[in-house]
Each structure stands twice: as structure tokens, then as C-alpha cells.
Amino acid sequence: MSKTAKVLRENIPEIMDLWQHQVIKDVPAAKDANAIALFDHLPNIIMDIADLMERSDKMTDINADKTYSEIIENSVTHGRHRATTAHYTVEQVVHEYIIFHRTLSKYISAHGGYDQQMSHLLKYVIETSILKSVGAFSLAIQEMQEKLIGTLAHDIRNPLSAAQLALQMMEQDKTGKWTEKTRKMAQSSVKKAIDLIEGLMNGISVKAGEGMMLYFEETDLIKDIKLVHAECKEVYTNKINLECEAEKIEGIFDSTAIRRLLENVIGNAVKYGLSEKPITISITDEEDAVEIKVHNFGNPIPEEKQEQIFKFMGTAKKDKKSVSGSWGMGLTLAQIVAEAHGGDINLLSDKKTGTTFIITLIKQFNEPGKKRARLSFVVENI
């Protein structure tokens, strides 16, 4: 089968073009993907299949073969990649592989290299690829669901704790001096918890490449920023400054999601910043966008870990030697929300100046209404 192996190696671009044409025609989710994302690890699988063909006569057990293990690894990676690509389903992942099998079979047959031994090898490899890819796809969807639900459930604790604290303060307030203030605090916290519970319910129905449901409407962002600032000043002992010259910043935003974004980033600054130094929230109103900076002094986030903290399935692990070793899921949520608003979140961190998270939001990126956030992160292998 060495002749056929050579044909496959030398014609991968042509084979992938044939496959792409048929997949775009038959698989709905493939229509929106560019060629690089669509091909993913399939060219590598073709190379590995060619390698197996070249050595098939000498193999006693294909399952013990190193190249076969690489095919399995590439198939797993392909399945997990598809889990981060919008609109894919298990059925569509399987359909892609069926078309892949047919394309390879037709191409090999057209070049006079198709026989029973070839058929058995190709069938065995593709069937295993489907099994491993679908398994990885399903597991990645489950992991995404658990992470989103975990993030939402974690955030629900904060307003409920604040409401409980307000009720305790009311009980201890014998003079009635603080009753009205604490009542409003409890009311606001309970409302926030209810909003988060709605998000929790939506997080249960995670689909490939899609995250939580967002609700966009025309609103003044300054009101939400000032609300978060006021609440954080009540909750934390740190001095928290707000620098903002704009009286209004109007655009189409999800107010609840942006408040959660800010709460998570500020909470991160409190947790890892120096308690004796102030945290500063700076707002810059631009023509089409708004920039939000949250700065704290303290130990910097190591450069090698700065990219990890935003990864959806690869949050930085605890480092016992550094107080900035684990950032939880809040920053994952921050990136989801920022990207859903057409923006992003970046990080500057060094020993001299401290740590600054820079969030950019595009004012008119979305239309009013409901929309699921996309998960554009690279899902790491298990």
C-alpha cells in the first residue's frame, strides 16, 4: 500500500478541497467556518493514515502502533475543537467523518489503490476516529456546561451573602437609623441573585461554541458602573476610587453581565492586591467604544501565566509560591462578556506599576434582544 500512501501524502490539499466542498454543502455548521478552522487536525490524520498504510504489512497490532495513537490524539483534539465552534452537534461531527471516509475512499479508488485490505484499514481507523472525536466533543460540552454553571452559582453567593448581612444589620439596629439603607441593600442584593438564577437556568442548555444567554438593551452604562462602585465600597475594606469624566455613556449593553464582569475584576483586585493601597476604576468614553480599567498594586501576575487566566477550559492552577497563582472562573466570565460586546479584555502586570485589567466594549455592536455569548477559547486537551 506504499504507492497509495504516497498518493495521499502528495495530494492532501486536493483531498481536503474535495472534502470541504462536500462538507459545506451537507453540514450546516461548516458553512460559517473558514478553511483553517474547518480542516483543523484532519490533514494530520491523512498523514497518519498514509504512514499506517506504508507499514501495514509489518504491523501485528495496530492498536499498539505509535501512529495509530497519534490518530486517536488528533481525533480527540478535533472533537474538542468542534465543541468550541458554534452550531455543531454530535450528528454533524459524525457526518463530517463519514464524508471524510467517502472522500478518501473515492480518491484512493480513482488512483487505483483500493482493495479489501485498504478498505478494512480505512474503515477501522475512521470508525475509531468517530468514536474518539464524538466522545471528546460530548465531554467538552459537559465541561463547558459545568464551568458556566459553576461560575454563575459562585456569583450567586455574593448577593445572597450581602442580603443576609443587610438583614442581620437590620436586626441589630435598635435605633432604626440604618433600617432604610439596609432594607434597600437587601432588596438590591435579592434582585441581583434572581437575575443570576435566570442566567443559571440558561447555562444548563449549553451548545457547541455557545455560552450564557445575554440580554442587550439601550442603556446608560455609567449607572451600572456607579452602582457596582457603590456596592463594592460597602462590601470591601479597601479604598476603591472611581475616575470618570463622562456623565452618560449610552449604548446597547447587557447591564447585568457588565455588572458581573466588573464585580469579578474588582473582586480579583481586592483578593490579590495590597489592602493598604487603593483600587482604581478608570472609565474612558470614546466615540464608538468605552474603555474600563481596573488597577491594583501588589504582586504581579507572572508573565507565563497571564494568558492562562482567560482560558475557558484551562484556568491557571494554584501556585503555592505566589499569591497570584489561581484566579478562578471570574476572569473567564469577564472575557466572555467583553467579547460578546465586540470588545476584549487585556492585562498589564509588573512589579513596579501593579496589575491593570483593560476592558473594551463596543457601544453599538449588538442589536437589542437576547443573544447567546460565543465561546471563542481554545479548549485544552485533557
Q: What is the 3-state secondary structure (H, E, C) of 257-302?
A: HHHHHHHHHHHHHHHHCCCCCCEEEEEEECCCEEEEEEEECCCCCC
Q: What percent of the chain is predicted at pLDDT more than 70?
A: 85
pLDDT digits (tens, 9 = 90+) for 167-196: 888 888 777 777 777 887 787 778 777 776
Global confidence as pTM:
0.61
Question: Can you state the percent helix, strand and coil of the chain, rounding each to 5?
Answer: 60, 15, 25
pLDDT digits (tens, 9 = 90+) for 223-260: 999 988 988 887 788 899 999 999 999 999 998 889 88
DSSP 315: P
pLDDT digits (tens, 9 = 90+) for 353-367: 999 999 999 999 999
pLDDT band of residue 318 (cuts 50, 70, 90) is: very low
Dihedral-angle region of residue 302 (phi above 0 means left; psi in -120 to 50 means alpha; beta otherwise): beta
Q: Which CATH class is domain 210-374?
A: alpha beta
Angle at 330 between CA 326 and CA 331, to 5 degrees: 80
Dihedral angle over CA of 117, 119, 123, 125, nearest 10:
50
pLDDT digits (tens, 9 = 90+) for 59-70: 567 777 888 888
Domain 2-143 sits in CATH at 1.10.490
